[in-house]
């Protein structure tokens, strides 16, 4: 049976490997950004509508915050949750873990402080996105209501003008 220390070592090696793969991906993205490849194919130029230009923030690729989140925040939260689950699982099966529970809870608390702040910030961003979606849908719904109202008024005006014209034609006869 694998001991808890071996499981933690395996987890640490796996997290280090994920970090290396992620760092390699970031380096490749930066290299592509610094050294763009030139296209050698001939492209026919067509007159098209000019597309709206995106802001600099929206067109950026990888930012420092992206690197921070994937290199530090995500592994920290995963490590915290994984270690807490591991302590609970082994505590139920092994009485020696319960004898040293203070050391384990201290480690969980040390990892949990920053992890909880990261989770709180992620939830705040999610709440902001939901508020923006709600505001967008309210604006869209109001626009549909205004459009329907204007369409109905226009239809009524067309009908009344048609009736007036009809009455004028009958009076001329």
Indicate whether this model's pTM tops 0.75: no
> Lowest-pLDDT range, 69-73, 91-95, 104-108, 162-166?
69-73
Which of residues 134 and 45 earns the better pLDDT score?
Answer: 134
Give me the helices (H) in 50-94, please.
56-59, 64-68, 74-93
- Helix %, strand %, coil % for the chain, to 5? 80, 0, 20
Q: Return the structure tokens found at 25.
A: 């991906």
Helices 101-172 and 74-93: crossing angle in degrees, nearest 10, is 130
For the chain, give the mean pLDDT: 78
pLDDT the model gives residue 44:
52
The tens digit of pLDDT for each residue in 12-47 reads 778 777 777 777 777 777 777 777 776 555 555 555
Q: What is the dihedral of CA 138, 142, 144, 145, to 10 degrees?
A: 140
Burial class for 107, CB neighbours closer than 10 Å (0-12, 13-18, 19+) = middle
Mapped to the 3 state alphabet, what secondary structure does 12-47 carry?
HHHHHHHHHHHHHHHHHHHHHHHCCCCCCCCCCCCC
Q: What percent of the chain has pLDDT over 90?
A: 18
Q: How much is the average pLDDT of 59-64?
A: 63
* Higher-pLDDT residue of 131, 51: 131
Closest-CA residue to 76 (of 126, 128, 11): 11
């Amino acid at each position: 049976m694998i001991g808890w220390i071996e499981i933690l070592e395996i987890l640490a090696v796996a997290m280090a490997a994920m970090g290396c793969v992620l760092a390699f991906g970031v380096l490749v993205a930066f290299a592509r950004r610094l050294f763009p490849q030139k296209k050698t194919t001939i492209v026919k130029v067509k007159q098209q509508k000019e597309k709206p230009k995106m802001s600099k923030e929206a067109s950026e690729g990888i930012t420092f915050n992206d690197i921070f989140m994937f290199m530090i925040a995500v592994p920290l939260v995963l490590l915290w949750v994984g270690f807490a689950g591991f302590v609970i699982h082994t505590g139920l099966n092994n009485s020696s873990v319960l004898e040293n529970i203070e050391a384990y809870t201290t480690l969980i608390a040390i990892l949990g402080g920053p992890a909880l702040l990261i989770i709180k910030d992620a939830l705040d961003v999610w709440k902001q996105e939901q508020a923006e979606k709600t505001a967008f849908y309210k604006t869209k719904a109001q626009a549909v209501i205004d459009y329907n109202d204007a369409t109905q008024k226009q239809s009524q005006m067309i009908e009344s003008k048609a009736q007036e014209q009809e009455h004028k034609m009958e009076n001329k006869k």
